[in-house]
Chain A
Amino acid sequence: ETGVTQTPRHLVMGMTNKKSLKCEQHLGHNAMYWYKQSAKKPLELMFVYNFKEQTENNSVPSRFSPECPNSSHLFLHLHTLQPEDSALYLCASSHLGQTNTEAFFGQGTRLTVV
């Protein structure tokens, strides 16, 4: 148990569906992240939120829409996804602005787009 909880663990959705991934941390961290992990590719940083403000959006398609209502919760809203969006989506949190700090990851959501 890392202190970062992601739900659901598995999700199968059609290309016309709308779904949301949820992430929660109770570690007192000020930053939360969404990463995408596809087979045989590096972990891709998608979004960064620092104190609820989005500070990074790495050219992610608009069909992925993040939301951070407070520093403990992070959502990733999905709509009209493509099969190539199937991947493991990982949420992480850390203390941004503090040196020598580690990231804590959730267990991930395995997303399959059919």
Chain B
Amino acid sequence: SQQGEEDPQALSIQEGENATMNCSYKTSINNLQWYRQNSGRGLVHLILIRSNEREKHSGRLRVTLDTSKKSSSLLITASRAADTASYFCATGDSGNTPLVFGKGTRLSVIA
């Protein structure tokens, strides 16, 4: 199984600031995905970036992928208090094995 490792473990910022979270992984991948989890709830898929893509946008989210460094970053611009949550990365291979998640980054956005 492949595992994403998020960094930092916790991040606290003021509303309106940008938040950047990083993910590193160990093996080759087909895609990398980011998920969000509100406290005590299930994970919600945010964005998927394929291994042949370098950057992807979705609203205030920007994801980059550097396969040579086996790393990805998630940038949330103009953060809001409602962005407070844990964020997880997960890597996908050919689709025949389930996603494996890291410990996540806990983001706190202070109003």
Contacts and interface: CB of A to CB of B under 8 A. Distances in A.
Given A43-B101, A100-B48, A90 B42 contact: yes
A101 B101 CA distance: 15
A90 B43 contact: yes
Contacts of B30: 99-100
Interface residues of B, number: 27
B102 A31 contact: no
Contacts of A33: 98
Given A41-B103, A102-B48, A97 B96 contact: yes
Interface of A: 2, 4, 6, 31, 33, 35, 40-43, 45, 48, 56, 88, 90, 92, 94-108, 110
8 contacts: A2-B42, A42-B102, A56-B98, A96-B95, A96-B98, A100-B95, A104-B45, A108-B40
